[in-house]
Structure 1
Amino acid sequence: MSNSYLGDDDLIFNTSSRIPVCLCIDTSGSMDQYDDTDTSRIERVKKGVAQFYAELRENDLTKYSAEVAIVGFSTTPYIVQDFKTMDLVDAASVNLIPHGKGDLGKGVLKALELLQGRKESYKRNGIDYYQPWLIIMTDGRPTGEENTMADLRQAQQKVTEMEKSKKLTVIPVFIGRTEGDSELSEIDSKADKYLSGFSQKNAPLQLSSGEKFSRFFEWLGKSVSIVTSDSDVELDFADLTDWDEI
């Protein structure tokens, strides 16, 4: 199945209220590491995305109202999948290939651009919508060009301002860790610093094992379903706080 964008046609034929969710995923070369498991970081992410889609499809409401886009970022950001409802996507077609460096700031800025564009499409077509979600997933500190840190600060400022004004739900996620590895512990510390700058509400989650990935994407799917049923509900992050926050 093609991941090409459908324009506004899907909004004409499906007028359900929408909740846009953007997964901003690190696809730098380090995402090919295995962390003492039988699958690489990127493969664990892909399996999690497939589970997320399955969770959303199980609910008749989110099947047609939740729209998911995926932005990958390595040396430059790129669109892996533009916004689609669950009746139009195929997890097997999500192509995430680790390569290059990881420009976190540019990746998040691209995701925000995509979310803003989708909100404008909703308004243009008279579609009601819930405020968007942004899931940021990375395995380390930004490693891009000279302006990487400037882009990162700009992205952090935009995201935190939107979160503060309740225009965005943001969940930062750190991928991979090997206990007792001093070099990786230093990377963890830096990842904590950069990821923490994206949310004043939610501390970064750490995902390493396949079980944690499974629990996270199961929770994510159920949480999106809850919000589409009651937009005033406060999400419960308590189930996630015992996951060895960074």
Structure 2
Amino acid sequence: MTSAAATESTSTELVPSLPFDFDKLGVELKNDPGLNISDVLARLATIPPIDPDKPVKMASVVELVTGELMHAIEEIPDVFGKVKPPASRRVLNTTELAKLRAEKIQIDTAMKALAARKNEIHTMVSVHFDVVAEQQKGIDPTKTPTNKKGHYLIASPGNPERADVKDGLKYFTREKAKDTVEWSMDALLDLLESGKITRAEFRAITSTQAVIDLDKVKRVLTLKSKMPRFQEIVSQISTVKHGTLSINLR
């Protein structure tokens, strides 16, 4: 329940935390009021660069070619697909179960090592893209946003980085998924309960069902009299989920 004090409270200054380019947002919304506010905010989000005092450590090399893996590779041709799917529903006999068990053990062993090696390949190629960006594109590591693994977020949906191979066949790309914005009704209620926003401000961006109304959010972000205040509020109740990076062959 909302306290009476919170209901009657006057608005208080929120801690400035503006993770979006609100100037560009206002221009875009005025030019096209039909834009999706979440999509625009995600695109105009500012991503802080990695802290230069906390450099990302390269992953330690793990020996993947183990005796267990080599044994699995040798065994798979002898056990793979020996039990065919029954033509009708029936109980498997003990011999079939034993063969399937032996097959699954070797497949699981090989797949675990292959998945680890695939991740290792992706890391190596992603580091390649990072170094190319620094050496050929003039990227400044102290000013360029990165993901949690320290790889540069310079690709964008539909605009991947590309590494050609000399044979002219398939090439590597580093692609970035679309950023999204998540809205938190709980965070908005917390602001109201703590008296940091007024009941009027709460109603200005919520529907009659007390949920965040994105059309109302768009409206207050284009009104000069309300813009600065609601830029702060929006910054407190929205979270940018940055699109993940992926390494692909195209």
Larger Rg: 2
Normalized per residue, the structure richer in strand is 1
Instruction: Between the two structures, name the one with larger relative contact order (CA 8 Å, sep ≥ 6).
Output: 2
TM bin, normalised by shorter chain, reads: under 0.3
Q: TM-score, normalised by structure 1?
A: 0.21
